[in-house]
Amino acid sequence: MIRRMADRLGHLGHSSLQRDQLDTLQPLGSPTSSQSISSSHLSQSSYDHRGSISTQATSVSDWSTDKRGAFSLESDMDMIQEEERPVRPKLVRRPRGVYRLSDFIIQRTLGTGSFGRVHLVRSKHNLRFYAIKVLNKERVVKMKQVEHTNNEQRMLECVQHPFIINLWGYFQDTANLYMVMDFVPGGELFTLLRRSNRFPDPVAKFYAAEVALALNHLHGLGIIYRDLKPENVLLNADGHIKVADFGFAKAVDTTTWTLCGTPDYLAPEVIGQQRYNKSVDWYALGILVYEMLFGLPPFHQTEQNHLRLYDRIQAGPSKVAFPVAAFSEHAKDFIMKLMEGDPSKRYGNMRHGAADVFAHPWFREVDWMRLEAREITAPYLPRITGDGDASAFDKYPEDDVSSTYGLLTPDLNGALFPDFEYTATP
């Protein structure tokens, strides 16, 4: 556990923002701002969900039909396969339950993507609500995401942390893979950020601190997350976060080299096809803090030209603007230390490791022990009417797809997913 860095969290947890208050947050381009920034840069309509990319294909994290930016890099650079290293960190698997489709009542669809759907379900036994991710095996194989899918299952099975989504169980039938996870009713941090345009410094600090604790836990297990962005940070009913979507997570003993993640959040060494380590997650935290405070990531551009974006990322943060209306000196310094282009000089990757991140002056008032225990009131409390309230998620046509689950079909790919047991049929 992170040692206590301060005596109190201060003002971060003392004001709760309800949904109807979010519109009152002043965007940086408003007349009351101390420094004007064009409001067009914060347009929600011009900045939608971002898909993740990989040299192997689109990420299993692409769970919204309207997410833009998902593409294969085969046309941009040479294919690089995920290397298999003989030595891997030893991860301890947690006990899990044995589930069948007949254990659940499917309520509605929470999201759709290239491989299947995420459903809100209710257990017939304990009446609790869960989210079940359903992946079509044939599509996973076709898009070369077998390794990433198995990694997601194996990583989540070994992880248990208050700010990381919990995997309760997994199974398969002849056509699909099923993963039973927490239902996180508050929706994406991305949605809250787009609705707010930008976060005040204390709000961004609260979410950044919880993400930092989650990353530090993963790194302690030898896991690199590799796809941090607001779309993958969910809000629980109490307003605290849950990092979700482990499609690109990987247990690594030292370094790896696969190009994967979300373009705006890729570290320069990833783009440069160099070997990299867990420091790419700390770099991504710097991008996330910038986006929360400003409303857009630092290298964002309106045109969809990823090669130009990569050029800007590799040029480094020296030409990135830090308007005083959005960034305090401590916030700017924190971001710059995380966005350091040289991984050996990047916070989180130096002699003191993550301690440099937690001890930075921007986090001075954070009580890390109370925060990890979720004893601090979150700055925004989702308006949840009760258990199973999925109003924070978009509605999708159901298409009666759940009626096909569990049916016997030709099965050519089941052996590729050895940890998924055949318990899906009633």
How far apart are the C-alpha atoms of 292 and 230, rounded to whole Å?
Answer: 9
Cβ atoms of residues 337 and 290 within 8 Å: no
* Residue 309 near residue 263 (C-beta atoms within 8 A): yes
227 in active site: yes
Q: % helix / strand / coil in the chain, to the nearest 5?
A: 30, 15, 55
Q: Are 72 and 57 in contact (CB under 8 A)?
A: yes
Q: What is the CB-side half-sphere exposure of residue 15 using CA atoms within 13 A?
A: 9
**Residue 254: DSSP 8-state:** S
Give the Cα separation of 49 and 88 in Å (integer): 33
- Residue showing tokens 């007949």: 102
- C-alpha 83/C-alpha 95 separation (Å) is 29
Look up residue 302 and give its two tokens.
């309106």
Binding residue per annotation — 142?
A: yes
The pair of three-digit structure tokens given for residue 201, joined into one six-digit string: 């410094």
Residues 52 and 270: beta-carbon distance below 8 Å: no
> Three-state SS across 275-324?
CECCHHHHHHHHHHHHHHHHCCCCCCCCCCCHHHHHHHHHHCHHHCCCCC
Residues in the chain: 426
Helix axes 329-338, 279-294, angle to 10 degrees: 150
Marked catalytic residue, from 227, 245, 281, 367 = 227
Which of helix, strand or coil describes residue 294?
A: helix
Angle at 91 between CA 85 and CA 92, to 5 degrees: 155
The candidate with the shortest Cα–Cα distance to 9, out of 390, 373, 405, is 373
Known binding positions for ATP: 142
Q: Which residues are catalytic?
A: 227
